Structure 1
């Protein structure tokens, strides 16, 4: 017997052990004649708690039987005292009922259907059947949902037959044909659901939409309810207070302070890039020979490419090898008066390092494993050039 359907607020119960065993993964489980532990299903996670002194860490329904997975190897008495982790259960009840209310607000007021629901450990989400939702619509839906919470309407459950479904304005078709359980918020939401919910909308507490993202043609709306709203508020307040101190700006001016800091950072990055280019230009002028062969250690490839192009612009040929902890890299270029195909040159030596790469006839690059020394790879490039 599933006691959570008889009394959703039941936190402790007595039961008789009917069976025990281990599953395919070697996890020990107990089967009882009745239970208040909710098994994973319908988008809602399982309950946890205690059976006597054994911790229940998972609950699943397998072939119509509820399995309680417990820790330890001590034998369990025939008569069992069960205790639900009520904080976890009530949190799930708040989130699940909040989802019903929020989905009803989107559909009833804006004709946006919910196509899926996820109850996560920290935040929840619904996927709406639309590619985009404005911030104004989100705010309006959130207000409508919280008005329904404040109305403190009853949340009713009812077992009905398939034939009786026509009597109710269901938000979506039910997925089963037998043992149909409806969760009803009068004049607001009628939905087939096997999860646990509070007995009134007021127990859901506040519903808060956090943010949205696009998801395969739908819009995923992230939200929290009840105590999770306080948790989110506390976390965000800590971040804001820390930023207020670090940026020497009050909360209402944090955005302006952040914009100024980002602008300053962009300007500094631009200045650094310009100075790097100047240094590379000075470095390029140090090479006076027609064929520049050089070995570097841990230089960024993008930097070597830029240096090589500066040298090539002076009608010189460049053969660079860069050595890092675990690989060798090549950057090769030539001026317009040299006829060697650099793309072919690079590809001809890459087998020495089991490498990959390529480019254009006048400029190419590649890299691979350290199967030869940097000097040997450079000499191979020079031989190909000759």
Structure 2
């Protein structure tokens, strides 16, 4: 038996009965494998909620107003994951998320149309496809397509949409029916049960497919082929496209970006590339100039501290980087002098470096990292690392100074003790 959603993809509401409801768990996307959602797997006598298959994601919808979070296929059954128990044998009302469903119908039928026309025009069969969240892609078995070929393909595809050609599913109840061999197919799933469904676009394509589709190409409204890129295999390409409502949404995003760039670059659309290219080159030149100035400043600060009688330097530079701090230490070239250097956002994250006597930085470095809510280690004789709270720089500096004062007091005490023991 074909599911109700496969017999009539336009059915938005449906009555059926619950065959079973068993406890289950669902992995939560973006979280650890251990973090699972507890719920129930519900199997229905029939359903308008499409389980994932044929490259098409699963539907969303409700069973008695209980949200269905995942739909998979298990043999001939469609398995619905819900968070509330639904009594087996009870009659339920199904509602499909129509916006999601119709979008998938447009993209999936669009893929069939593009696949058929591309193979007819350029002899390149489709090896796989992906229905993405915003943009879909078709992997074609051809090394490349020119811009002109893509344009011609797009024109031909949209001509067929304007012709309002019917799209009809047909069921073959025997999967070994010899007539099925004439239809395009990449193979049935190993656990396939029940009739074989063939989708026919009159005069254009006939292929085995389990997905939901529009009933007429005119319902696709329009298809826009976006660009091509190299596929995973060097002799194949991915053709990116949008169909139906996605064309309008894609165009809407493009208009927003165009208007923003027009304001930012102070020029019309036709000049955007040249203006952006000029801005990027100018930014790179300025960055090189700033980097050069920072290096000169680091040399100056290092030489200045080297000539100073003070033994401790605390310096922050928002625009600096690790190279800036290392240059200062290299210029000081005195392991007895202590440098506490920081770069980055004074109230946020950045980098820090502590240089000085080895014993001192081994003792104080980890404490400084802890105060700055960061991590560090000894590298090239310096204790350096990342800081998440440069706002605590003052506390770290106070710790260093207190430690230095304590060390100085110990040295003076030892010197006085030695002088008293002399005859």
How far apart in 1 are the matches of 2:303 and 2:259? 52
Ranges in structure 2 where 5+ consecutive residues have no aligned partner:
27-37, 343-348, 367-375, 388-398, 408-423
Is 1:164 the counterpart of 2:198? The answer is no
Question: Which residue of the partner structure matches residue 180 of structure 1?
Answer: 196
Question: Which residue of the partner structure matches residue 196 of structure 1?
Answer: 212
* Aligned partner of 1:301 among 322, 328, 332: 322
Question: Which residue of the partner structure matches residue 270 of structure 2?
Answer: 252
- The answer as to whether partners of 2:321 and 2:351 remain within 8 angstroms in 1 is no
Task: Kindly report which structure 2 residues correspond to 1:109-148, keeping only aligned pairs within 5 A, or say none.
Answer: 109-130=121-142, 132-148=144-160
Give CA deviations for 1:86-112 in whole Å, capped at 9, x if unaligned.
222111110111111222233322233
> Aligned-pair distance for 1:260?
2.8
> Aligned-pair distance for 1:225?
0.7
How far apart in 2 are the matches of 1:167 and 1:131? 28
- Aligned in 2, Cα 1:172/1:188: closer, same or farther, shift over 3 Å? farther
Q: Secondary structure at the match of 1:23?
A: strand
Give TM-score, length-normalised by structure 1.
0.74
Q: Secondary structure at the match of 2:81?
A: strand
Question: Which residue of the partner structure matches residue 269 of structure 1?
Answer: 287
- Aligned in 2, Cα 1:155/1:254: closer, same or farther, shift over 3 Å? same
How far apart in 1 are the matches of 2:218 and 2:293? 62
Comparing 166-175 with 262-271, greater Cα deviation is found at 166-175
How far apart in 2 are the matches of 1:222 and 1:97? 15
Give TM-score, length-normalised by structure 2.
0.69
Question: Which residue of the partner structure matches residue 92 of structure 1?
Answer: 104
- The answer as to whether partners of 1:355 and 1:369 remain within 8 angstroms in 2 is no
Q: Secondary structure at the match of 1:220?
A: strand
* Aligned partner of 1:206 among 222, 225, 233: 222
Give CA deviations for 1:42-84 in whole Å, capped at 9, x if unaligned.
2212222233333333322234322333354576982222222
Give CA deviations for 1:362-384 in whole Å, capped at 9, x if unaligned.
xx8774699xx87999x9xxxxx
- The answer as to whether partners of 2:7 and 2:169 remain within 8 angstroms in 1 is no
Ranges in structure 1 where 5+ consecutive residues have no aligned partner:
333-344, 359-363, 380-386
* Aligned partner of 2:54 among 42, 53, 57: 42
* Aligned partner of 1:106 among 118, 128, 131: 118
Note the aligned Cα RMSD (angstroms). Answer: 4.1
- Aligned in 2, Cα 1:281/1:231: closer, same or farther, shift over 3 Å? same
> Aligned-pair distance for 1:34?
2.0
- The answer as to whether partners of 1:328 and 1:368 remain within 8 angstroms in 2 is yes
- Aligned in 2, Cα 1:369/1:146: closer, same or farther, shift over 3 Å? closer
> Aligned-pair distance for 1:240?
1.5
